[in-house]
Structure 1
């Protein structure tokens, strides 16, 4: 037996006894429980400079030799507790990344410890069958046909890529798998998305080999909603110019303002001219559960493919996104690759067949984690009714913020869509529409955002509304309260007044 080996004849360096696992696990869960209890009274973000971050990381040298797992875990917990931004904080309103359900975290722990394969029926029948059923549950939740295809992925960006690749397979007009995206037809392929669509649409076009010029950007209105007339005009002009359109990527909930494109009109146009109708509903699709949501969301059921991100408005820990497809075979036909080392089974036909269960052949990943488990457990816990209430609360809180901003002197509300409200600070002595003040107001509001974030009292983000720099509050956070929202406008006004005095010294400023 070699030095350091145990009675089993091998080192246990990566192992841990059941007793030690229990001890460390119980301790960590207790620490995390205390962390969540104290979180509302803590700053949203620590004020760490780049040199400070470097010093924190440099304190840990490269590990030539290992350390006790308890020590490593304690160091990591301290580092994240004191320096990381937590989306569980009730005043985190920056990105569309939901407050994480503790049950979702426990589901991730369960899946990680058992660590089952999620590739094919003969490899692990229960996990692929569980994922396929959870895909159908999610489809039912948002009103999509439940005889659909689909799979869970790392998020909406990857789901948009997989959807675009499937659309190419169906609509290009030749065998894209064999001949690539240029093909024999000669006419360049193109697709349509609004000017406010997510950057992952252009990234997907690049990854598919189409190039960014293939994404034809369509004008939007002030709220960020695609202008349908502009889409129809651009489509007609491109066809006349010899291009080959194959897809429209509509958005249900834009990142900047929460706008929902005119989905029924786009669906009808795609049906009429034979284009693939894709909806990026990573953020907004789940709003269909709320009676306060736009009626256009009822047209989600008409999509050829639909993206939903449970780590956004199902309040789940990242990462988990889902792609749903109307044709249950399209992903299998697009991605299937046989190999001598892949196992097959005729028995899976009883539970849906390879087009729903052979998950290694439905997308670009072979090795996959059991992301579906946290979606399943949290949906079982909350039910449709629970999610409808929480999403409705977020929408109403954003609407309440808009009203509070409207009532606060020197604040101008700009847009409200789904659970996103945008606004800006305008000193009383400046005319908001004057061209001479535009650059200064943009500079002022960008600086105001940085001061808000660094102060730690709240963590909104920014966007641009018709050339105006705006503060953006996105509420996908079931820990946010009415009191949190109502305190924000006066805080923004106070900090804005202080900043304006610094940027325009010598001017007379009213105190809040």
Structure 2
């Protein structure tokens, strides 16, 4: 009625207890936000792939530290106005410039549960450790590792690769290197593809060995490491008095998705007594596909594998993982005999090996739950089929490129990454085209450099991407080439 006035909001009374003062109101607000997020995912095709944060939004997140509390409803309104519209875009089927997973609604629910439980999975005897060990067993089965292998969730494969280099270093020089360091040690040398991810060189730097001692092995026309060149490099380093200790193979290079000849690398590593690590961030989860598994023959002979569930596994970020064949070597590298981490034969301190014995983190979130719920709900077969389908969609993009009068394929396609160019156009044109398409919100390709040429790079990772999406993408390029307008 016109004469009525709205009841003022109740004042927020500070309390030492951080729980809501009104659980019913909190429940209603939380349920509405969950509904909004489900709707956001369900209708993801209807909005732009990406858009830059508005000036108002950038200003919103430049404010000073808040001292007073606010109503949760007002904070959630900020989320709706200033966060949801300006995300990375990787949920959208036409996001394909980088290898980002698209997530699933199941994973979102898992994140909510994990946040509510708020487990610290660094150690102690609780179910979070059991769930993580379940993933270790599943990945051992999928990758052909023996029973008793160890594994650890990390932020991503960059950290997993760093840990693998550290384990290999400790095994090469002995556990005393943890205290003595590298001073006056024989010079270690490691080997990886010239197409390997930059985090391998960074891992050498962080481990104290130095990236100057990482040998970049030449690749063949398909972007795969050449085993004969690797053998020659190892022989030359031994002759120079160095100590070769590590080979890093790549199961899906970042530029083109090439898979190194893992069987040959395993044979060389066994002959030379080197630790064989596989960076499987891009492609290792394709072993879940019956159609693609054979491409990774030899991965089961490696000493360790890094992979990312948040890429092709579509687990919400972040969910990196390291699997190590020799669990004793894994523990020797990281376990700390400190009083506050002592174990007991019962109670909350029970358990022989905790995750904090296998890596540098004592405080760790419950990453295993969203991975477990994703695999348990969808099943490895369905996930594998989704992975294979993205490769089929990539093959369809190749077909469209090869039959297009202006487009030119620039690299072999091993899995799901397609690099192509536009005939007669220079690097500046390619860069401008990619940026224009991104800023128009219609697609998100990227660019990279292949044999000195700047090229358009499309990584088909999203389980939502279809052939119709590829047709729409090519149509946008055609319109751009026709009149430079999108």
How does the TM-score come out when normalised to structure 1?
A: 0.87
Which of 406, 410, 416 is the matching residue for 1:410?
A: 406
Q: Which runs of 5+ in 2 are unaligned?
A: 1-11
Query: In structure 1, how many angstroms separate the alpha carbons of the residues matched to 2:109 and 2:171?
Result: 39
Query: In structure 2, how many angstroms separate the alpha carbons of the residues matched to 1:274 and 1:447?
Result: 49
Residues 240-294 of structure 1: CA deviation (Å, up to 9, x unaligned): 1222111001100111110101110000000001000000001211112334437
SS in 1 for 2:339: coil
Query: In structure 1, how many angstroms separate the alpha carbons of the residues matched to 2:477 and 2:449?
Result: 18
Give the C-alpha shift of residue 156 in structure 1.
Answer: 0.5
Which of 489, 494, 498 is the matching residue for 2:474?
A: 489
2:294 corresponds in structure 1 to 295
Query: In structure 2, how many angstroms separate the alpha carbons of the residues matched to 1:20 and 1:210?
Result: 56
Q: Is the 8 A contact 1:463 1:472 kept in 2?
A: yes
Residues 433-456 of structure 1: CA deviation (Å, up to 9, x unaligned): xxxxxxx62222122111111111
Q: Is the 8 A contact 1:116 1:124 kept in 2?
A: no
1:509 corresponds in structure 2 to none
1:508 corresponds in structure 2 to none
SS in 2 for 1:147: coil
Q: Which runs of 5+ in 1 are unaligned?
A: 431-439, 503-512
Are 1:474 and 2:477 matched, yes or no? Answer: no
Query: In structure 1, how many angstroms separate the alpha carbons of the residues matched to 2:56 and 2:241?
Result: 56
1:262 corresponds in structure 2 to 261
Q: 1:476 to 1:143 in 2, by over 3 A?
A: farther
Q: Is the 8 A contact 2:307 2:321 kept in 1?
A: yes
Q: 1:319 to 1:224 in 2, by over 3 A?
A: same
Are 1:105 and 2:108 matched, yes or no? Answer: yes
Which of 385, 406, 411 is the matching residue for 1:389?
A: 385
Give the C-alpha shift of residue 213 in structure 1.
Answer: 0.5
Give the C-alpha shift of residue 296 in structure 1.
Answer: 4.1
Structure 1 segment 23-34 matched on structure 2, within 5 A: 23-34=28-39
Give the C-alpha shift of residue 382 in structure 1.
Answer: 1.4
RMSD: 2.3
1:435 corresponds in structure 2 to none
Q: 1:142 to 1:294 in 2, by over 3 A?
A: closer
Give the C-alpha shift of residue 224 in structure 1.
Answer: 2.5
1:421 corresponds in structure 2 to 418
Q: Is the 8 A contact 1:141 1:384 kept in 2?
A: no
1:140 corresponds in structure 2 to 141
Structure 1 segment 344-493 matched on structure 2, within 5 A: 344-346=343-345, 354-355=352-353, 358-415=354-411, 416-426=413-423, 430=424, 441-493=426-478
Query: In structure 1, how many angstroms separate the alpha carbons of the residues matched to 2:173 and 2:278?
Result: 19
1:36 corresponds in structure 2 to 41
SS in 1 for 2:162: helix
Q: 1:383 to 1:146 in 2, by over 3 A?
A: farther
Query: In structure 2, how many angstroms separate the alpha carbons of the residues matched to 1:463 and 1:212?
Result: 23
Query: In structure 2, how many angstroms separate the alpha carbons of the residues matched to 1:418 and 1:143?
Result: 21
Query: In structure 2, how many angstroms separate the alpha carbons of the residues matched to 1:34 and 1:338?
Result: 49
1:66 corresponds in structure 2 to 69
Query: In structure 2, how many angstroms separate the alpha carbons of the residues matched to 1:145 and 1:16?
Result: 52
